[in-house]
Amino acid sequence: MRTDYCGKINASYIGQEVTLCGWVNKRRDLGGLIFIDLRDREGLVQVVFDPDLPEVQALANTLRAEFCIKLTGTVRARPEGQVNKQMATGEVEILGTGLEIFNKSAVLPLDWNQENSEEQRLRYRYLDLRRPVMSNKLQFRAKVTAAVRRYLEGEGFLDIETPILTKATPEGARDYLVPSRTHKGEFFALPQSPQLFKQLLMMSGMDRYYQIVKCFRDEDLRADRQPEFTQIDIETTFLGADGVMAITEGLIRDLFKQMLDVDLGDFPRMTYAEAMQRYGSDKPDLRNPLELTDVADLLAGVDFKVFSGPANDPKGRVAVIRVPGGASLSRKQIDEYTKFVGIYGAKGLAWVKVNEKANGLDGLQSPILKFLTAEIVDEILSRTGAEDGDILLFGADNATVVTEAMGALRLKLGEDFELLEGEWRPLWVVDFPMFEEADGQLHALHHPFTAPRNLTPEQLAETPATALSDAYDMVLNGVELGGGSVRIHDQTMQSTVFSILGIDKEEAELKFGFLLEALRYGAPPHAGLAFGLDRLVMLMTGATSIRDVMAFPKTTTAACPLTDAPSPANPQQLAELAIATVKKDAE
């Protein structure tokens, strides 16, 4: 129906007749002439209708915003002074000589010149997506997936589909269930990830697998969570952690080079222990220069229980953050930070302002100065590198609370004081613990198929709490882009891990019997990684919400205002599935 895209018309077209299809982005009448900006996926072009053609003029006069039309005309240079260097098509305009209206448009329920509510935007998603800022994000996403596929296929990875109707897997979140009609009373689960299937594909000898695949978690949603999300899922045989990290780091580096012309360089590696120590996070944002400095050793003897208590407790921690220029904080501002760390369980936030270092204790300002000696203060100033005008903020409690609270505070301070340096700061976090303790039971930090690092099953069983895993997370600007691990391919090791996790033989058999059985038939060493595609695209496009990089996202209550899903089922369907809905009072 057309000869070209609107957004592609430039000076090289001058003198040519073109036919374009698209939407009226804007109409304005000037000096008896009708101008429109015509829009398609590729951009905008200015059209002025030929005033010597009364029929065309009359039809053009009916045009309103978002009418969908076909336009024929001749490309010509814009008059001097009307050239718009900001627009790709800004040097030209089209003298419109033919016009067909495919469809009129009622006045839009969204006003693009102001913020619209999330609910309205999702309800009229097809209109919201017409905005170039939204359309460009989906186009960018399509280019990202195409580039990912090209890279991985070049590395010998096979795109293999795994089932959506499957069995509950142990990722830990709540499953979406699907009642079976042919096996009444039973349910499929939608996969939280294709973890077990990709491992089975390695046992099938498929060697290198990838999939860009939907995963599902029925969790209470936050700003960056969706009930269905997309994973770049990768698994390899006969490669260890270094091999997988090299391939996947290369993928992300290529992607940034190709899409954003950014060279990410080699990614540094940091142990989980160091990340928690210095940044209070297992996904540190390295653009933020603030660090946690440990000072418990200095404070074990002070007459201030808030410090000496945790300093003398093997499970305690005392850490300080130096904020350059922070001495200007008001009492009220400090109180707000105190409230902030309270969210993470911290009971207070001690502080010391450094006004004039050269004056010793007199040059400092703090309610807790009386508990500290000049020697202790000197050492703290020296360890943190404090300068005049800084503030020191102290966390003292059990180690978990201090690490979490000060880690979060670090991020907040970095933003409030606009300290972020550099645009992109990737890293690998490695040497995670195999397990974390909660309620007197060990839980898998990653998932129960993660291999320990350099341990036999016997060694692992002896000291599980201190065992490290062969897992690795890729972190960029404080966001976990992806995580993976070497998997267990030894049946005894897998049984040992299940037993450490408190999964008894019967339960292991019921849930993972097929995996344990598969390990009996020459299962190969294998390892992999999964990226969160939505989060990756969100980061690369600078989007503020994950919803902006998905075509049809759900609301925070997991509903779709556009199609009105979910909705009641008809009774006949439920009868066929042999299920019934239960009223709350009936429970």
**41 near a copy of itself, rule: CB under 8 A:** yes
| Residue in 150, 155, 141, 188 with CA at minimum distance from that of residue 169 | 188
**167 near a copy of itself, rule: CB under 8 A:** yes
Q: Lay out the site mask for a copy of itself across 4-23 (x = CB under 8 A, - = otherwise).
A: -----------------xxx
Which is closer to a copy of itself, CB of 9 or CB of 350?
9
Alpha carbon separation from 84 to 11, 45, 113, 346, 570 (Å, rounded): 12, 11, 21, 56, 57
Interface with a copy of itself (CB under 8 A), residue from 180, 271, 338, 365: 180
**175 near a copy of itself, rule: CB under 8 A:** yes
**173 near a copy of itself, rule: CB under 8 A:** no
Find out whether 114 is annotated in a ligand binding site: no
**39 near a copy of itself, rule: CB under 8 A:** yes
- 518-548 exposure pattern, b = at least 16 Cβ within 10 A, e = fewer: bbeeebebbbbbbbbbbbbbbbbbebeebbb
| Residue in 532, 565, 563 with CA at minimum distance from that of residue 549 | 532
Find out whether 515 is annotated in a ligand binding site: no
Which is closer to a copy of itself, CB of 85 or CB of 583?
583
Question: Half-sphere exposure of 367 toward its Cβ, with a 13 Å CA cutoff?
Answer: 9
Which is closer to a copy of itself, CB of 238 or CB of 374?
238
Interface with a copy of itself (CB under 8 A), residue from 200, 364, 467, 538: 200
Alpha-carbon span 470 to 550, nearest angstrom: 33
Minimum distance, C-beta of residue 293 to a copy of itself, in the bound complex (Å):
42
Minimum distance, C-beta of residue 274 to a copy of itself, in the bound complex (Å):
29
Place of tokens 């006069």: 61
- Cα 22–chain centre separation: 34
Restricting to residues 460-519, which ones interact with a copy of itself according to CB under 8 A? 489-490, 513-514, 518-519
**357 near a copy of itself, rule: CB under 8 A:** no
Q: What is 223-281 written as a DSSP string?
A: TT--SEEEEEEEEEES--HHHHHHHHHHHHHHHHHHHH-----SPPEEEHHHHHHHHSS
**35 near a copy of itself, rule: CB under 8 A:** no
Minimum distance, C-beta of residue 479 to a copy of itself, in the bound complex (Å):
20
Find out whether 219 is annotated in a ligand binding site: yes
Task: Give the tokens for residue 529.
Answer: 């990684």
Find out whether 218 is annotated in a ligand binding site: yes
| Strands, E assignment, 272-354 | 292-294, 316-323, 350-354
Find out whether 40 is annotated in a ligand binding site: no
**359 near a copy of itself, rule: CB under 8 A:** no
Alpha-carbon span 309 to 316, nearest angstrom: 8
**73 near a copy of itself, rule: CB under 8 A:** no
Interface with a copy of itself (CB under 8 A), residue from 118, 207, 274, 379: 207
**164 near a copy of itself, rule: CB under 8 A:** yes
Which is closer to a copy of itself, CB of 186 or CB of 388?
186
Restricting to residues 546-565, which ones interact with a copy of itself according to CB under 8 A? 550-552, 554, 557-560, 562-565
Alpha-carbon span 504 to 498, nearest angstrom: 7
364 contacts 352 by C-beta, under 8 angstroms: yes
Q: Which residues make beta-bridge pairs with 99?
A: 71
**584 near a copy of itself, rule: CB under 8 A:** yes
Find out whether 535 is annotated in a ligand binding site: yes
Restricting to residues 213-252, which ones interact with a copy of itself according to CB under 8 A? 214, 216, 218, 220, 227-228, 230, 237-240, 243
Minimum distance, C-beta of residue 254 to a copy of itself, in the bound complex (Å):
17
Question: Half-sphere exposure of 554 toward its Cβ, with a 13 Å CA cutoff?
Answer: 19
Restricting to residues 521-550, which ones interact with a copy of itself according to CB under 8 A? 521-525, 550
**In sequence order, which ranges of 353-440 are alpha helices (DSSP H)?**
374-384, 399-416
Interface with a copy of itself (CB under 8 A), residue from 26, 172, 184, 362: 184
Minimum distance, C-beta of residue 397 to a copy of itself, in the bound complex (Å):
34
Minimum distance, C-beta of residue 546 to a copy of itself, in the bound complex (Å):
13
- Can you say whether residue 384 is alpha, beta or left, with left for phi > 0 and alpha for psi between -120 and 50 degrees? alpha
Find out whether 37 is annotated in a ligand binding site: no
- Cα 252–chain centre separation: 14
Interface with a copy of itself (CB under 8 A), residue from 36, 59, 189, 264: 189
Residues in binding contact with a copy of itself, number by CB under 8 A: 122
Local structure of 146: helix, strand or coil:
helix
Which is closer to a copy of itself, CB of 330 or CB of 567?
567
Which residues, other chains included, contact 542 with Cβ-Cβ below 8 Å and sequence gap of 6+? none
Alpha-carbon span 94 to 76, nearest angstrom: 6
Restricting to residues 120-159, which ones interact with a copy of itself according to CB under 8 A? 125-127, 129-130, 135, 138-139, 141-142, 145-146, 149, 153, 158-159
Task: Give the tokens for residue 318.
Answer: 């005392």
Which is closer to a copy of itself, CB of 180 or CB of 338?
180
Which is closer to a copy of itself, CB of 124 or CB of 340?
124
Which is closer to a copy of itself, CB of 130 or CB of 425?
130
Minimum distance, C-beta of residue 15 to a copy of itself, in the bound complex (Å):
24
| Residue in 157, 171, 169, 225 with CA at minimum distance from that of residue 528 | 157
Which is closer to a copy of itself, CB of 228 or CB of 379?
228
Q: How many residues does the chain have?
A: 587
| Residue in 20, 13, 15 with CA at minimum distance from that of residue 36 | 20
Residue numbers in the known binding site are 171, 217-219, 226, 446, 480, 487, 532-535
Please state the residue numbers annotated as binding site for ATP. Answer: 217-219, 226, 480, 532-535
